């Protein structure tokens, strides 16, 4: 066998790419994972994981903000985590409309720096586009993906409470984190007032009570340090680095190649299939071609769009499988613009321990079972109550016993609340290749042309109104609501451009995440999403990936994805 020939190639090593590698390797396929960034090994490549604030030159503040004008806006970016984010100047793109593209180019991708919130979609998320007339009809429903949610949850380890909500299905949960006293008071008041609003503890990918499968991965219980974005040496939160990639490697079927920038997917006109990928070595600039029977594209949403747009041939002059002409269109995201804050009295004698890695949530109560608002889609509310700590009105130059006593005592309770809203996919929101500008490897730069709509404005105004109502009901004071006016993209939940659908004229992928016109190429990251729902999307990416990978293995064994010349080498 040619050393550059494999059964499967996976482009990208993040949350979905790691799952593709795990499933394909377990299925017996010799799998090459291509990562455009550097290698990051679990534990040994987390240089700041155990550092104290005073161990940093800038005490943890953002380093070189002028070098990182975009990524510095990210909640997880600071001096302790900057090595897991790209430098904006080194990876330019063209913003036709303001868009903050947050990227992590390394083995593990953004699975090292994600917020780890994991919710299942309900049947309403899959049915709402058809019901309310936006996007296109999903080719799958909740029943199709439900067993794969369970498959992923058991392996990943999801803490959560079984809440019995139709709009937010329960899963395979480890013990939940606990709401604190103020959050429980809000929960009580909401339950008394509303029938369709529920306060729950967030469901997150943290091991609160590791099971055998997690110990076999070499992972341990969460220590509630909330230093997760530095990389967790305990493997307590899920990442590709601590979980799926090492698991795939144990099969002996995995080849991991970092510093491999994928330029395009190679299409054979005679075989009418993709035959491999063209890679540019990020360090040497050498151009290399790798061949495989199937290809999974998991480069993260916008990079997946870029690769497919740049994969041109006589058959597909505008991008691989782009017969419909919609490749790169209907880019969508989550609307985070609505925020609220308040103070609350009466709990001064109460406190809490640890740094819980999740917050309280109010699942969507808008447009769930039917259309009931003047906007499309729904939104979740996330909120947390906490007590202030350091330097509450005390000069940082103070010293002595009074100063020590002051900063040692917890301050008053405060509440922060935010929205996570469903952005509706529209044709105008798109990405495309720049006709002239190239990156450092000679690949066209991406143009982002993505903006909010009137629907997003109506939704965030409704959030502000409802947030104020809920906080007032709870007895909060000094209630303030506002619009952050942040750019699209800063939510880091970009989706679409290579959407699933029933009709090849209006979609790129079928119900198995196969390209309609190139069946041995699968897309299972955020690019594949038909609509975005209002829940955090990562669990759905992983479930779609596991489902598609198991289907691909089955199709290979049936010889449905193989051309004649490859038959003799299959599973050799």
Assigned token pair, 28: 């017996």
Backbone angles phi, psi at 514, to 5 degrees: -90, 140
Assigned token pair, 372: 């009931």
Q: How far is CA 282 from CA 17, 61, 299, 447, in A?
A: 19, 30, 15, 22
Strands 273-281 and 260-268: antiparallel
Contact between 240 and 108 (Cβ < 8 Å): yes
Cα gap 155→133, rounded to integer Å: 36
Helix (H, G, I), strand (E, B) or coil at 500: strand
Task: Give the residue ranges of DSSP H helices in 376-453.
Answer: 401-408
Q: What's the pLDDT score for residue 388?
A: 73
Task: Give the residue ranges of DSSP H helices in 195-347.
Answer: 212-216, 245-249, 301-309
C-alpha triplet 225, 227, 232: angle, nearest 5°: 95
* Location of structure tokens 């002595």: 400
Cα gap 361→202, rounded to integer Å: 6
Strands ordered across the beta sheet of 94-95? 94-95, 444-449, 430-438
Q: Positive or negative, the Cα torsion across 373, 375, 378, 382?
A: negative
Q: What's the pLDDT score for residue 547?
A: 98
What is the CA 116 to chain-centroid distance, rounded? 8
Cα gap 139→156, rounded to integer Å: 26
Q: What's the pLDDT score for residue 237?
A: 97
Strand runs (DSSP E) across 304-351, as ranges?
334-335, 338-344
Cα gap 11→35, rounded to integer Å: 7
What is the CA 530 to chain-centroid distance, rounded? 15
Smallest CA-to-CA distance from 16 within 467, 564, 495, 451 is with: 495
Q: What is the CA radius of gyration of the chain?
A: 24
Cα gap 205→239, rounded to integer Å: 9
With a CB cutoff of 8 Å and minimum separation 6, the contacts of 457 are: none
Assigned token pair, 340: 């609220």
Packing angle, helices 538-557 and 15-26, rounded to 10:
30
H-run or E-run covering 260: strand 260-268
With a CB cutoff of 8 Å and minimum separation 6, the contacts of 397 are: none
With a CB cutoff of 8 Å and minimum separation 6, the contacts of 362 are: 190, 197, 198, 199, 200, 380, 381, 382, 383, 470
Strands 273-281 and 287-297: antiparallel
Q: What's the pLDDT score for residue 63?
A: 64
Strands 360-362 and 338-344: unpaired
Widest pairwise Cα distance in the chain: 82
Q: What's the chain's length in residues?
A: 572
Cα gap 433→520, rounded to integer Å: 24
Helix (H, G, I), strand (E, B) or coil at 102: coil
Task: Give the residue ranges of DSSP H helices in 50-114.
Answer: none
What is the CA 499 to chain-centroid distance, rounded? 16
Smallest CA-to-CA distance from 218 within 200, 196, 245, 193 is with: 245
Per-residue pLDDT of the chain (572 residues; tens, 9 = 90+): 489 999 999 999 999 999 999 999 999 999 999 999 999 999 999 999 999 988 999 877 876 667 788 999 999 999 999 999 999 999 999 999 999 999 999 999 999 999 999 999 999 999 999 999 999 999 999 999 999 999 999 999 999 999 999 999 999 999 999 999 999 999 999 999 999 999 999 999 999 999 999 999 999 999 999 999 999 999 999 999 999 999 999 999 999 999 999 999 999 999 999 999 999 999 999 999 999 999 999 999 999 999 999 999 999 999 999 999 999 999 999 999 999 999 999 998 888 888 999 999 999 999 999 999 999 999 999 999 998 754 444 455 566 787 777 767 778 899 999 999 999 999 999 999 999 999 999 999 999 999 999 999 999 999 999 999 999 999 999 999 999 999 999 999 999 999 999 999 999 999 999 999 999 999 999 999 999 999 999 999 999 999 999 999 999 999 988 754 444 444 44
Assigned token pair, 309: 């747009």
H-run or E-run covering 458: helix 454-473
Smallest CA-to-CA distance from 9 within 31, 24, 29 is with: 31
Q: What's the pLDDT score for residue 564?
A: 47
Contact between 468 and 476 (Cβ < 8 Å): no
Assigned token pair, 535: 């829940």
Backbone angles phi, psi at 165, to 5 degrees: -100, 135
Q: What's the pLDDT score for residue 409?
A: 74
Smallest CA-to-CA distance from 441 within 252, 293, 280 is with: 280
């Amino acid at each position: 066998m040619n050393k550059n020939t494999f059964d499967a190639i996976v482009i990208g090593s993040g949350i979905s790419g790691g799952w593709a590698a795990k499933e394909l390797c377990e299925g017996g396929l010799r799998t090459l994972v291509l990562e455009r960034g550097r290698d990051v090994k679990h534990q040994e490549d987390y240089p700041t994981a155990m550092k104290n604030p005073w161990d940093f030159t800038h005490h943890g503040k953002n380093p070189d903000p002028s070098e990182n004008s975009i990524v510095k806006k990210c909640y997880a970016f600071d001096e302790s985590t900057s090595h897991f984010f790209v430098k904006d100047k080194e990876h330019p793109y063209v913003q036709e409309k303001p868009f903050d593209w947050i990227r992590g180019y390394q083995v593990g991708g953004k699975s090292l720096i994600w917020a780890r919130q994991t919710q299942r979609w309900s049947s309403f998320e899959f049915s709402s586009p058809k019901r309310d007339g936006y996007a296109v009809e999903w080719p799958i429903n909740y029943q199709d993906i439900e067993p794969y949610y369970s498959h992923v949850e058991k392996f990943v380890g999801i803490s959560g409470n079984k809440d019995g909500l139709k709009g937010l299905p329960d899963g395979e949960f480890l013990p939940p984190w606990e709401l604190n006293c103020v959050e429980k008071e809000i929960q009580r008041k909401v339950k008394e007032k509303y029938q369709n609003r529920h306060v729950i503890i967030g469901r997150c990918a943290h091991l609160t009570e590791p099971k055998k499968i997690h110990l076999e991965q070499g992972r341990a219980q969460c220590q509630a340090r909330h230093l997760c974005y530095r990389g967790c040496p305990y493997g307590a939160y899920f990442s590709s680095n601590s979980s799926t990639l090492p698991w795939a490697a144990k099969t002996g079927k995995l080849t991991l190649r970092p510093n491999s920038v994928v330029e395009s997917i190679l299409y054979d006109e005679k075989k009418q299939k993709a035959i491999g990928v063209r890679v540019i070595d990020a360090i040497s600039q050498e151009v290399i071609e790798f061949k495989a029977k199937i290809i999974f594209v998991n480069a993260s949403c916008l990079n997946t769009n870029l690769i497919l747009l740049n994969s041109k041939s006589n058959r597909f002059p505008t991008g691989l499988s782009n017969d419909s002409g919609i490749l790169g269109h209907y880019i969508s995201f989550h609307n985070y613009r609505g925020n609220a804050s308040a103070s609350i009295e009466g709990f001064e004698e109460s406190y809490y321990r640890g740094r819980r890695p999740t917050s309280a949530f109010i699942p969507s109560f808008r447009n769930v079972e039917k259309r009931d608002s003047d906007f499309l889609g729904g939104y979740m509310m996330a909120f947390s109550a906490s007590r202030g700590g350091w330097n509450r009105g005390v000069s940082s130059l103070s010293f002595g016993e009074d100063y020590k006593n002051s900063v040692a005592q917890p301050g008053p309770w405060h509440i922060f609340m935010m929205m996570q809203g469903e952005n509706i996919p529209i044709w105008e929101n798109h990405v495309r290749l720049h006709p002239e500008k190239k990156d450092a490897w000679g690949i066209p730069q991406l143009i982002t042309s993505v903006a909010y709509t009137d629907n997003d404005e109506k939704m965030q105004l409704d959030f502000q109104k409802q947030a104020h109502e809920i906080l007032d009901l709870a007895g909060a004071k000094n209630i303030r609501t506002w619009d952050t006016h942040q750019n699209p993209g800063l939510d880091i939940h970009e989706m679409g451009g290579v959407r699933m659908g029933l009709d090849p004229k209006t979609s790129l992928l079928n119900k198995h995440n196969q390209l309609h016109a190139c069946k041995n190429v699968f897309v299972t990251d955020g690019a594949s999403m038909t609509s975005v729902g209002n829940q955090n999307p990562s669990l759905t990416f992983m479930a779609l990936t596991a489902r598609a990978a198991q289907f691909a293995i089955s199709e290979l064994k049936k010889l449905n994805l193989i051309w004649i010349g490859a038959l003799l080498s299959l599973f050799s």
